[in-house]
Amino acid sequence: MLEGAVRKARSGGSRSGLCAEVFTVRRLFALLITTAALYGCAQATWDAIAPVSRPPGNKHVVSSVRHIVIIEMENRSFDHYFGTYPGVNGLPSPLPCNPDPQKNNRCIKAFHDTTLRNYGGPHGYGAFGTDLDHGKLDGFIRSAEHSDSKFPDPDPDEVMGFHTCSEIPVYCNLAQHGVLADNTFAATLSWSTMAHLFLVSAWSASCSVHDDPMSCVPDNKVNVRTSPPPDYAWTDVTWLLHAAGVSWGYYVYNKGAPELPWNGDGEAPDLNIYSKIGMWNPLPGFDDVADDGELSNIQPGESFDAAATSGTIPSVAWIVPSFDFSDHPTANISRGQAFVKSVVDEIEAGPDAGSTLIILNWDEWGGFYDHVVPPMMKDGMGYGFRVPLILYGPMVKAGTIDHQLLSSDAYLKLIEDQFLGGRRIDGNDGRADSRPGVREDTPGLGDLSNDLDD
């Protein structure tokens, strides 16, 4: 693998590219070993890193889908929202428990939480390892009791709580009339910055040279609160969309009630937040967006409201709510549901209703308990715990449960198959890239087109 990386860098004729490529492989190997340790694995290998060969052209294009709208909500595990929903791989019986170190390790069972404002727990790289505890899944309360949040949970046992349709009626209604996926994993075993990077690019990295994709190395701890902010030199999917003439928009909302103060992943109030790189808004930091002259495609949420009303929704749209309407602890989840319902209602009342697929996704687990051990990824980055995923639109197989292995990589796969002839952001897209493989072709990754009727 290292020899191949050296040959690739040499073919580019750049000494800096060679150094960056060798460093990338060494850094990735270290990440693999670290990730393997988190999972309690004895050995990590490179076997699944190389891109998987695939036939040219589309696997399946659903002719009725002309718009894909991805709503990115925040910080809820699958069991926390849908652990008791009929037909899913939900909370087992008897209900699982976690020890509470502050209560003499008394095991606290999962319980029905009727409150609408939750605190959650830490959800960074270290907290993932504590929660997972080598597959025992017994560290969620322990993590919550060591939280450094500005809003510490008065009762860390809350991370064992789950909601039912009584508390989340909007989401249950969408699931009932759409497709609910119960085997969807967060794309990262870290916090929201990485999840949002994966959402548009299937990778999270740090780049040492501006506008040099070959200087990027995988990173699960990207910090956007630096001066200057980080530079994202690797390729995101908008590069392919632009090259193919496919319209796209990234919409950042900042409306309604004043946002809560910054709390871990939350964005501070800012009227021009859509134009600035942030934890939930990575695209202003991608060099290829600027190189393509498409920074203006990153817009305030009101622009999506207008597009839905006028029938000008782009082919691909991402929607990012403001903190207060995002479901991110400590926001009230009734507000998150009100926001989602308003977006869905706008789409359904507009001219694009019959051709729009809505993907409602939560970015990562937010410290809340889930009973499924994530599959180990061999790219050194790793999947996080399960998150809810709902597909909604007139073309979905309504009322079904999708048990496929999924992550936000599958959303990109659907976009690429639907609009780009199956092309991938894999270094063979006309722009050099230092990533060692492409997650859209991960063996066993599900295909969302299976949930759609043509």
pLDDT digits (tens, 9 = 90+) for 266-292: 444 455 678 888 889 999 999 999 999
Q: Where are the domains of the chain?
A: 1-454
pLDDT bin (cut points 50, 70, 90) of residue 258 is: very low
Average of pLDDT values for 376-386? 84
pLDDT at 153: 63
Residue-wise burial string across 373-405, b where 16 or more C-beta atoms lie within 10 A, e elsewhere:
ebebbbbbbbbbbbbbbbbbbebbebebbbebb
**Annotation: CATH topology of 1-454:** Alkaline Phosphatase, subunit A (3.40.720)
pLDDT at 272: 66
- β-pairing, 161-162 vs 111-112, is parallel
Per-residue pLDDT at 390 exceeds 90:
yes
Per-residue pLDDT at 449 exceeds 90:
yes
**Which of 190-194, 334-338, 433-437 comes out lowest in average pLDDT?**
433-437
pLDDT bin (cut points 50, 70, 90) of residue 432 is: confident
pLDDT bin (cut points 50, 70, 90) of residue 255 is: low
pLDDT at 148: 62
403: left (phi over 0), alpha (psi -120 to 50) or beta: alpha
Task: Identify the residue with better confidence: 149 or 94.
Answer: 94
pLDDT at 430: 83
Contact indicator for 17, 9 with CB cutoff of 8 Å: yes
pTM score of the predicted model: 0.87
pLDDT at 33: 39
pLDDT bin (cut points 50, 70, 90) of residue 151 is: low
Helical spans, DSSP H, in 153-265: 169-176, 192-201, 237-243
Contact indicator for 191, 266 with CB cutoff of 8 Å: no
